[in-house]
Chains A and B, each alone.
Chain A
Amino acid sequence: MTFLGMPAGGGNLTGTPFPKAARGALGDDQLRRNLAKATSTIRTKRASVVGELPDWAELRLAGAAIKDEVLANLDEYLVRFEEALTSRGTHVHWARDAEEANRIITDLVKATGTREVIKVKSMATVEIGLNEALADAGVHAVETDLAELIVQLGNDKSSHILVPAIHRNRTEIRDVFRREMAGVDPDLTDDPRALAEAARKHLRQKFMTVDVAISGANFGVAETGALVVVESEGNGRMCLTLPRTLISVVGIEKLVPSWRDLEVFMQLLPRSSTGERMNPYTSVWTGPTEGQTSHVVLVDNGRTATLADPDGRAALRCIRCSACLNSCPVYERTGGHAYGSTYPGPIGAVLSPQLTGVDKNPTLPFASSLCGVCYDVCPVAIDIPSMLVHLRSRVTESKRATPESTAMRAVGWVMSDSRRWSRLIRLGKFGRLASRHVPLPGWSSARDLPLPPKQTFRDWWESR
């Protein structure tokens, strides 16, 4: 067998460099208000329901341990999963990257003769750019998750894992519906009930007529071949049960060993994501229902490459709850589009560069102040700050000499010897006059620099 190397992730995982992309959002006051309001509401709810569980710390460690065990033996679990699926009549396909996954799915859809598919919200299909690939093949994909539908109708991009339309307020949503939803009431108000009812009518018609559905999965159970979708609206359940063809697109890291393991994640996930004790709809299916054809497409797209890195692989524990996004002070101010990837926020800043290779996402590891709140709230204890630091090293090591690396080298040389160091800081007092007039790019736009003291601490100590 020829070893072809580990495929790099493609699809919607790269974008404009973070500092540049962030500037747009930072200048948009409405967006910043929408984000601050939404994230602080979810943060408060999460904190309250997490606080109810006395064994949260143990659950969190259990979640991390189960995922680590799966990742350490992923080859075996995947084979077991495939066998279980196949034995119950599901067709299993393997995709190395986004392109291959799109080709497989597009061929499956085209073979049914349909021109329209319905979708239950799936990050994996957004990651690989499935809707775009289907559109190129003349197939229209209808998102049925309400927030995903808003994003799709608005010809927009999702900006949050759980709440893809978090950057929109309800007046903006009403405008999108009025403009883009066929047959909508032209006097539609921005009352949430009215908006939900309009979406419901629109979607109901699709559920009753479209015969091919595409789903993702929150979990796959290796032991039984069961797939699990966790959702709030019930639209996912309509997708999973009504159509005659069901195609599920699953990242290879989504497995848990056994049915019992779900117990842990069903406590961790809803509390971390929506701040609820339990989500309204959990669908589990093992193989096709009568008269249905079912396919599972297992997607790598950079995951084995991530797995190969001992310092970064824990990012694959992620269960896409979005607690890190909702807590992150950087995300709260820039929004998700600034990250340029399907996966925004702190987890995106470590996951995207690993899936694509750091050369394709060199600014994301630096899109954090390393405040560490993401690690504190992560239900599977991913040490995102340490991982960011590790990825920063990989970015700087992959570059040739830059003014920054030269400066760092020089300062490092000074700091590794106390005589050099004390000589340097003594120069500070001579720099006192200059210091107020030397601009430090970025810093001096909003902050004054401190005046170097007349005497360093070291000199004071020696003179004492």
Chain B
Amino acid sequence: MRVALFVTCLVDALFPDVGKSTVRLLERLGHEVVVPSAQTCCGQMHINTGYQGQALPIVRNHVAAFEQADVIVAPSGSCAGSVRHQHADVARKGGDEKLAEAAEDTAKRTFELSEFLVDVLKVTDVGAYFPHRVTYHPTCHSLRMLKVQDKPLQLLRAVEGIDLVELPDAETCCGFGGTFALKNSATSTAMLEDKTSAVLSTEADVLTAGDSSCLMHIGGGLSRLRSGTRTLHLAQVLENTR
């Protein structure tokens, strides 16, 4: 299959290794990966902070960038969620019905990585080897906007050598929420503290999740605590082989 990678702005600028792992994983599974160069960002930060008007040209750019793609895969539940649940609405509110329809069409072709692997490719064992103690945080938008359910866990359970441990209160938000972490930093920090304690209680070597944004937040907290627990994106765990 020819897969268009929607790499997301955060991965492009700050976490390129997540993008590289996604590419290598998909290629290892025998698919051709293309990266449309016109892509930038899904505009979620603008939309969720209350700048729908400013998000409109970003949405337009995104829709145009992926117009030719058969299937679009993002290593992010949050960005896939924005494409699927917000883009058409932003276009409609901006008075562009044609763009709204095109956005609806893009949404249908867009998948978060674990959804793509399990639902589209029908694969749970991707041939990965990762001999470490790992815990998994189901990020809010993957969990509730996309309803990925236990697909990431199905993938992780099939990894050879992994010691997968349950994260207490896993479904509670880490407190990132985009600009929420800045606008309500004290509340966000309180939520982060509970999340990092839960992670540390598992004694995992690695915390993994399907969103680099949440991992940036939790990882930033773990790093400040000088804890030994690393954060790795799901794609990075799955890309690893013997």
Instruction: List the interface of chain A (C-beta within 8 A of B).
Output: 18-19, 22-23, 26, 32, 329-330, 333-334, 365-373, 375-376, 386, 389, 392-397, 404-405, 408-409, 411-418, 421, 425, 428, 440-443, 445-450, 452-453, 455-458, 460-461
Mark out the residues of chain B between 158 and 202 whose CB falls within 8 Å of any chain A CB in the assembled complex: 171-173, 175-193
Are A440 and B182 in contact (CB-based, < 8 A)? yes
> CB within 8 A of A22: which of B12, B140, B176, B184?
B184
Are A372 and B49 in contact (CB-based, < 8 A)? no
B69 at the interface (CB under 8 A from A): no
22 contacts between A and B (CB under 8 A): A19-B186, A366-B50, A366-B184, A372-B140, A396-B49, A408-B51, A415-B41, A416-B40, A416-B57, A416-B61, A417-B40, A442-B182, A442-B185, A445-B185, A445-B189, A446-B185, A446-B193, A447-B189, A447-B217, A449-B220, A452-B14, A460-B16
Minimum Cβ distance to chain B for residue A402 (Å):
11
A329 and B47 in contact (CB under 8 A), knowing A370-B180, A416-B58, A418-B65?
A: no
Are A19 and B183 in contact (CB-based, < 8 A)? yes
Residues on the B chain within 8 Å of A22, using CB: 184, 186-187
Are B7 and A457 in contact (CB-based, < 8 A)? yes
Minimum Cβ distance to chain B for residue A270 (Å):
24
Are A453 and B16 in contact (CB-based, < 8 A)? yes
B71 at the interface (CB under 8 A from A): no
Are A447 and B224 in contact (CB-based, < 8 A)? yes
Are A448 and B140 in contact (CB-based, < 8 A)? no
Residues on the B chain within 8 Å of A18, using CB: 184
Of the candidate stretches B31-39, B110-118, B121-129, B233-241, the one touching chain A is B31-39
Compute how far the CA of A235 lies from the CA of B177 in the bound complex, rounded to whole angstroms. Answer: 42
Compute how far the CA of A58 lies from the CA of B82 in the bound complex, rounded to whole angstroms. Answer: 27
Compute how far the CA of A448 lies from the CA of B141 in the bound complex, rounded to whole angstroms. Answer: 23
Excluding A365-B50, A389-B47, 13 further A-B contacts by CB distance (< 8 Å) are: A19-B187, A26-B187, A32-B190, A366-B180, A371-B140, A389-B50, A395-B50, A418-B61, A441-B182, A443-B182, A446-B189, A447-B189, A453-B16
Compute how far the CA of A417 lies from the CA of B61 in the bound complex, rounded to whole angstroms. Answer: 7
Are B145 and A372 in contact (CB-based, < 8 A)? yes
B148 at the interface (CB under 8 A from A): no
> CB within 8 A of A412: which of B57, B182, B190?
B57
Residues on the B chain within 8 Å of A417, using CB: 40, 61
Residues on the B chain within 8 Å of A395, using CB: 50
Minimum Cβ distance to chain A for residue B162 (Å):
25
Are A369 and B51 in contact (CB-based, < 8 A)? no
A443 and B65 in contact (CB under 8 A), knowing A450-B219, A460-B20?
A: no
Residues on the A chain within 8 Å of B50, using CB: 365-366, 389, 392-397
Instruction: List the interface of chain B (C-beta within 8 A of A).
Output: 7, 9, 11-17, 19-20, 23, 35, 37-41, 43, 45-55, 57-58, 60-61, 65, 85-86, 89, 93, 140-141, 143-145, 171-173, 175-193, 216-217, 219-221, 223-224
- For B224, the closest partner residue in chain A by CB is A448
Are B61 and A370 in contact (CB-based, < 8 A)? no
Residues on the B chain within 8 Å of A456, using CB: 12-13, 16
Compute how far the CA of A170 lies from the CA of B38 in the bound complex, rounded to whole angstroms. Answer: 61
Residues on the B chain within 8 Å of A415, using CB: 9, 40-41, 43, 46, 58, 61
A369 and B180 in contact (CB under 8 A), knowing A416-B60, A428-B13?
A: yes
Residue from A22, A330, A369, A417 having most chain B Cβ neighbours under 10 A: A369
Are B182 and A421 in contact (CB-based, < 8 A)? no
Residues on the B chain within 8 Å of A375, using CB: 144
Compute how far the CA of A135 lies from the CA of B219 in the bound complex, rounded to whole angstroms. Answer: 53
A447 and B144 in contact (CB under 8 A), knowing A415-B41, A418-B65, A458-B12?
A: no
Are A26 and B190 in contact (CB-based, < 8 A)? yes
Minimum Cβ distance to chain A for residue B28 (Å):
15
> CB within 8 A of A19: which of B17, B86, B184?
B184
> CB within 8 A of A371: which of B9, B49, B144, B179?
B144
Residues on the B chain within 8 Å of A370, using CB: 48, 140, 177-178, 180
Compute how far the CA of A348 lies from the CA of B144 in the bound complex, rounded to whole angstroms. Answer: 21
- For A442, the closest partner residue in chain B by CB is B185
Residues on the A chain within 8 Å of B219, using CB: 448, 450
Query: Which 3 A-B residue pairings sit nearest by Cβ, starting from the closest?
Result: A442-B185, A369-B177, A447-B220
Minimum Cβ distance to chain B for residue A451 (Å):
9
Residues on the A chain within 8 Å of B51, using CB: 393, 396, 405, 408-409, 412
- For A399, the closest partner residue in chain B by CB is B50
- For A398, the closest partner residue in chain B by CB is B50
Residues on the B chain within 8 Å of A368, using CB: 177, 180
A408 and B54 in contact (CB under 8 A), knowing A329-B172, A448-B223, A457-B7?
A: yes
Residues on the A chain within 8 Å of B60, using CB: 416
Minimum Cβ distance to chain B for residue A154 (Å):
25
Are A366 and B182 in contact (CB-based, < 8 A)? no
Compute how far the CA of A394 lies from the CA of B93 in the bound complex, rounded to whole angstroms. Answer: 12
- For A330, the closest partner residue in chain B by CB is B187
Are B184 and A441 in contact (CB-based, < 8 A)? no
Residues on the A chain within 8 Å of B223, using CB: 447-448
Are A329 and B191 in contact (CB-based, < 8 A)? yes
Compute how far the CA of A413 lies from the CA of B55 in the bound complex, rounded to whole angstroms. Answer: 9
Compute how far the CA of A254 lies from the CA of B152 in the bound complex, rounded to whole angstroms. Answer: 43
Are B53 and A397 in contact (CB-based, < 8 A)? yes
Compute how far the CA of A367 lies from the CA of B52 in the bound complex, rounded to whole angstroms. Answer: 18
Are B144 and A418 in contact (CB-based, < 8 A)? no
Residues on the A chain within 8 Å of B54, using CB: 408-409, 412
- For B35, the closest partner residue in chain A by CB is A461
Are A333 and B191 in contact (CB-based, < 8 A)? yes
Residue from B50, B57, B144, B184 having most chain A Cβ neighbours under 10 A: B50
Are B48 and A392 in contact (CB-based, < 8 A)? yes
Residues on the B chain within 8 Å of A409, using CB: 51, 54
Compute how far the CA of A452 lies from the CA of B140 in the bound complex, rounded to whole angstroms. Answer: 25
Residues on the B chain within 8 Å of A455, using CB: 16
